Amino acid sequence: MPTTILADLREEWQDAWQSAWYRKRVIVGLVLVIMTLSLFPFFFQAIEKRNGVLLHDPLLAWLHPHNVSLAIFVFIWAISLLGVLRAAQNPYMFVTFLWAYWLLCVLRTLTITLIPLDPPVGLVGLVDPISNFFYGEKFVTKDLFFSGHTSSVFLLFLCLPGKVDKKLALIVTVIVGSLLLVQHVHYTLDVVGAIPFGWLAFWTARKTIVRIPEGAMD
């Protein structure tokens, strides 16, 4: 059975890769994502030096800050591993997430640039050794609007095929967003705002850039 599954997957990827349409979108998408991520440390270190606005957040004022970094890390990277598995099984999900993620990075760069914020009162530094790799040497606290962790998990929810996987990803989105508030890493506005921006990145990628065949991600 496993041999049959691997053979089917190999055939599906071979069929997709034979299409010049697919190859072009994967190659260009990978180049853009790699270039963007390589520039992130410089961007985040630059925004950390500027002054921003301190927002009054009634929910954060009510929540006592706690360090829940480990829980955030576990939930995010567990659902990310599921996303990697599903993307390996579906070449169209892979290319859709690739472009949507790049658009999400671009949108987040724009919003952080245009909306300078100071970190919430009581912020507890988030320890995420994988994500922090892209932030540079100095710990970053001003990458606020909108939440990258929340929007990335929500993007997985939008891209994942199958009702069970989608429900799981949606639950993790809510959990991660809530834990970020518990740790005072983000304002409520940052977490809530991640949802429409995640949807915008997904919709733009799927409808205007990737435009996958109907039913290919089911």
Q: Which residues pair with 53 in a beta bridge?
A: 117
More confident residue, 199 or 6: 199
Q: Residue 142 domain-assigned? A: yes
**Mean pLDDT over the full length of the chain:** 91
Q: Residue 130 domain-assigned? A: yes
Q: Find the range with the poorest average confidence among 116-125, 127-136, 188-197.
A: 127-136
Report residue 28 CA to chain centroid gap. Answer: 19
The confidence score (pLDDT) of residue 1 equals 43
pTM of the shown model: 0.92
Across the range 32-43, mean pLDDT stands at 95
Q: Which residue has the tokens 């040497």?
A: 137
Q: Residue 216 domain-assigned? A: no
Across the range 106-123, mean pLDDT stands at 97
Report yes or no: 110 and 200 within 8 Å, Cβ to Cβ.
no
Distance between CA atoms of 127 and 133, rounded to whole angstroms? 11
More confident residue, 45 or 9: 45
Distance between CA atoms of 170 and 154, rounded to whole angstroms? 7
Report yes or no: 216 and 96 within 8 Å, Cβ to Cβ.
no
Distance between CA atoms of 124 and 133, rounded to whole angstroms? 18
Q: What is the number of domains present in the chain? A: 1
Q: Residue 124 domain-assigned? A: yes
Closest CA to 98 of 32, 194, 146, 18: 32
Q: Residue 217 domain-assigned? A: no
Across the range 82-88, mean pLDDT stands at 95
- Please determine, for residue 8, whether its predicted confidence score (pLDDT) is greater than 90: no
Report yes or no: 72 and 179 within 8 Å, Cβ to Cβ.
yes
Q: Residue 215 domain-assigned? A: no
The confidence score (pLDDT) of residue 189 equals 98
Distance between CA atoms of 91 and 26, rounded to whole angstroms? 10
pLDDT in tens, 15-26: 889 989 999 999
Distance between CA atoms of 121 and 109, rounded to whole angstroms? 23
Residue 154 lies in domain? 2-210
The confidence score (pLDDT) of residue 12 equals 82
Q: Residue 33 domain-assigned? A: yes
Q: Residue 218 domain-assigned? A: no
Whether omega for the bond prior to residue 44 falls within 30 degrees of 0, making it cis, is no
